[in-house]
A and B are shown apart, each in its own frame.
Chain A
């Protein structure tokens, strides 16, 4: 009984990371029908910048702030400089560009900071069951997710962003600067993604450190519905708990297989996600 409880707690804190990274995918997918495969690389670069800042100044929180800022900026730049140029062709070309960007940015990170892992600090004490760091991860993600949802639901900016995502042409006719809303969406998504990176990366940073987390985040997003932010957040926590239990009760080597099984199963049976209230919109 005790172990189950322990596994669930563990799962909640890793699930928080999947939820946040998944949410960053959903924000972009909902607006552009593009899965941003470059998201982990954007988070990676911003985490490396945090690493460099913390190393130079000794302040974890300064590094943390730099990561969020740099992440946002990277998202904005990627949309403005790359995605905007290719998105008019097709969604597929945007997806391929994000895949290419993933590889390029990981290589660049390796060139600048080497492929060797560097020690990467936790925000707080990380020892024990549901440590201060775990608590921080879960609350940071919950606060951020709530912030994103409130922004979408209750602010004029959020209303514009949703309109631009659902019906870009109609939004334009109503005076919405649709291009600007897409840029804002990429910035917001990359901000959330960078937060996820900062939480997921410790204790070591290396160019491929987020690969596995990204696969889990994508699974969470597919599970919750790629255009359903709330579903994806729930999906992230559910997946975190589920995988933690599999790891603890069956064996850690089965975790990737279990995630893959969930991914395939959901795509095959309920492609719009477990909470798929958007099925009607797709047809």
Chain B
């Protein structure tokens, strides 16, 4: 589904990603963990073409997307919820949602997608006409994820969706993700510092430290590995 093959991304002299190799199976949830500055955000930004890798190859849906423009990758079925959500506060809640599906031709299906997102996150349905700037942190994250789902993506990248949210809201979001995967076969890459809650819904996990993959295994195995948890995951 998604192959990241020996990808190196640099900012000037900083090697944010150093020969990173990660494979993501179709229909799986993959956690990418690591401390602040480990390179998690850079990994997602490199996948969506927002930054270009210095070397290596990225394949998604069987196509080489290493040099593909971001908007084209999005229209290929990849949705990326950036750190903080990327909600456009100048637009209304519903405009944000509609924006997520605009590139899709099928009008009727766009309307259906909107209904599904409303069902998934009822607060968004009640606040459709309000400016997105009026939403709470949790509602904003719901909006960001809902907007990503509007395009009916095959692959969803999430950058720290639980950042700054109350545990209950985080739990709700994790539940929605797991539920979506089992209902629709959506493939998810979940970047988190909150390793425990991410691993609890993931199939596999990768741990990054200073731009390198330092561990990769089944989520359950990673959760049970005390040494690793103490060294990199902080719980």
Which of B69, B80, B88, B151 is in CB contact (< 8 Å) with A167? B88
A169 CB-CB contact with B under 8 Å: yes
Please state if A162 and B91 are interface contacts (CB–CB under 8 Å). Answer: yes
Say yes or no: A170 contacts B86, CB within 8 Å: yes
| Distance between A278 CB and nearest chain B CB, rounded to angstroms | 8
Q: How far is the CA of A191 from the CA of B74 in the complex (A)?
A: 31
With a cutoff of 8 Å between Cβ atoms, the chain A residues found around residue B26 in the complex are none
Min Cβ gap B150→A in Å is 9
Interface stretch among A11-19, A113-121, A174-182?
A: A174-182
Interface size of A as a range: 10 to 19
Interface string of B149-176 (1 = CB under 8 A from A): 0010000000000000000000000000
Instruction: Find out whether the CB atom of B90 lies under 8 angstroms from the CB atom of A160.
Output: no
0/1 string, B86-104, CB within 8 A of A gives 1: 1010110001001110110
Asked whether B229 is an interface residue with its Cβ less than 8 Å from the other chain, the reply is no
Residue from A159, A169, A170, A177 within 8 A of B95 (CB atoms): A159
Chain A contact residues: over half helix, strand or loop, or mixed? Answer: helix
Among A156, A160, A162, A170, chain B packs the most CB atoms within 10 A around the CB of A170
Assess whether A166 is interfacial by the CB under 8 Å rule.
yes
In the assembled complex, A212 has its CB within 8 A of some CB on chain B: no
Knowing A172-B74, A173-B48, A176-B71, say if A159 contacts B102 (CB, 8 Å): yes
Contact of B70 among A156, A159, A166, A173 (CB under 8 A): A173
Q: Does B215 contact A (CB under 8 A)?
A: no
B contact residues vs A (CB 8 Å cutoff): 48, 50, 69-71, 74-75, 79-80, 82, 86, 88, 90-91, 95, 98-100, 102-103, 147, 151
Residues on A lying within 8 angstroms of B by beta carbon are 156, 159-160, 162-163, 166-167, 169-178, 281
